[in-house]
Amino acid sequence: MVFSASHSVFIICRDAAGIAGNIFAFGLFLSPIHTYRRIIRNRSTEEFSGLPYIYALLNCLICVWYGSPLVSSDNILIMTVNSAGAVFQLVYIALFIIYAEKSKKVRMLGLLLAVFGLCAIIVFGSLQMTDLVMRRLIVGLLSCVSLISMFASPLFIINLVIRTKSVEFMPFYLSLSTFLMSTSFFLYGIFNYDLFIYVPNGIGTILGIVQLALYFYYKDSSKEDSREPLIVPYP
C-alpha cells in the first residue's frame, strides 16, 4: 500500500513537471518572432542564418520519435512538446525560404529534405529492431546527443556576454525560459527514471543558471535594446 501511494505521488510529480516544461517551452518557441518581424518587414533574411532552425527541427523530430509509444510508452509529454516545437520550426523555415535570396532558398530546401531523409532513416532503422529495449536505447542515445549539442549552443552567447560585458544578445526572459524548461524536464526525467531526459536537461539547467547569473552581473552594463539569439534549445 505504501509503495503504491509512493508510486502515485511520483507519477503526479512527473506529469506536473512535464506539463510545466511544455508551458515554459513556448517561451523558447516564440523567441525568434522578433527576428522574423524584421525579416517580414524588410522582406529579406539579410545576414541571418537559417541553420539554427534546421538543426532545431532535426532535434525536435528525433525527440518526437523517442517520446512516441513505439519507442517509449511513458514519455508522451516529450512527444507533445517536441511536436509543437517541430511545427514552429517548420513555420520559421518556410518564412525563411520565402524571403531568402535564391541561393539560400536552394540551400535551405536541400537541408530540409536532408533532415526529413535522416529522420526517415532513423525511424525505419529503429523499427527493424524487434528488441524494444534496444530500440529505446539507440533512439534515446540519439536524442540525448542531439539535446546536449543543442544545449551547448548558448556557450557562444555566454562567451559573447563575458567578452563584451553586455547582455544585449542574451534577453532575460529567454534565459529564464531556458532555465525553467530545462529544470522542469530535468525533474520529469528524474521522476520517470529516464537518464536520456534528465542528463541533457540537467546540463541545460546548469547553463540556464549560468546565463541568469551573467545577466544580473552584466545587466547594468547594457545600454541597448536586447536582440533575440537565433539558436534555441528544446527538450
With beta carbons less than 8 A apart as the criterion, state whether 53 and 235 touch: no
| 172-182 residue pLDDT tens | 887 888 899 99
Burial of 233 (0-12, 13-18, 19+ CB in 10 A): buried
With beta carbons less than 8 A apart as the criterion, state whether 235 and 25 touch: yes
At 160, is the pLDDT very low, low, confident or very high (cuts 50, 70, 90)? confident
Q: What are the domain boundaries of the chain?
A: 2-221
| 44-59 residue pLDDT tens | 888 778 888 998 999 9
- Rg (C-alpha) for the chain, rounded Å, is 19
The angle subtended at Cα 159 by Cα 154 and Cα 163, nearest 5°, is 150
Residues 23 and 17: their CA atoms lie apart, in Å, by: 10
| CA count, 13 A, side-chain hemisphere, 152 | 8
Residue 233 has pLDDT above 50, yes or no: no
Residue 224 has pLDDT above 60, yes or no: no
pLDDT in the model for residue 4? 61
pLDDT in the model for residue 232? 44
Going by the DSSP 8-state scheme, the letter that residue 165 receives in this structure is T
Better pLDDT: 167 or 194: 194
Residues 119 and 52: their CA atoms lie apart, in Å, by: 17
Average pLDDT over the chain, rounded to an integer: 86
At 226, is the pLDDT very low, low, confident or very high (cuts 50, 70, 90)? very low
* Nearest C-alpha neighbor of 81 from the set 62, 66, 60: 60
| Mean pLDDT, range 209-219, rounded to an integer | 87
| 90-149 residue pLDDT tens | 999 999 999 988 888 999 999 999 999 999 999 999 999 999 999 999 999 999 998 888
Residues 205 and 189: their CA atoms lie apart, in Å, by: 13
